[in-house]
Amino acid sequence: MKSLVPVFAVLLLACASPSSAGVFGDDLTRCVVESTTKEDRAALVRWIFVAMAQHPMVSSMSTVKAADKDQANKQVGALFMRVITEACAEKTKSAMKAEGPAAITAAFQVLGQVAARELFADPNVIAVMSGLEKYFDAEKLKALGADLGAH
């Protein structure tokens, strides 16, 4: 069966789909993404993980220390400030004037999506997510016309 992992990754990324932005917001988004490094995006992923790990549905699966929370907030706070007030200051001003604070939100949602794509591309992540396929019923999928071919 062809891997459905990319389908699930897209579904997960869609959960954080950005609001529609205008021309200035699009410019800001490009600047935000282009002004970050792989390390910056990794810090963003860690911060999202730390935040999500606090939810009662998953908190028993992870132990995040107070120092880890503070470090994640510190790193992403510095990232946010550097990108918005330095690297993309003019684009931030233009987007805020034309489109309001939603432009910043949309830009960082796209940055989160870029970071998540990098996370999902890791072979270790792919291996775990691919384990889901052993619980698929190929016959039921085929009956829906979802014959995904050989893996």
pLDDT at 12: 47
- Residues 37-92 have pLDDT tens digits of 999 999 999 999 999 999 999 999 999 999 999 999 999 999 999 999 999 999 99
pTM tops 0.85: no
Domain boundaries in the chain? 22-125
User: Span 125-150, mean pLDDT?
Assistant: 82
CA gap 34, 76 in Å, rounded: 16
Q: Which two tokens stand for residue 143?
A: 């009956």
Q: Which two tokens stand for residue 128?
A: 């775990």
Residue 110 has pLDDT above 90, yes or no: yes
Helix axes 5-14, 123-130, angle to 10 degrees: 100
pLDDT at 71: 97
Mean confidence (pLDDT) of the chain: 86
User: Span 89-110, mean pLDDT?
Assistant: 94
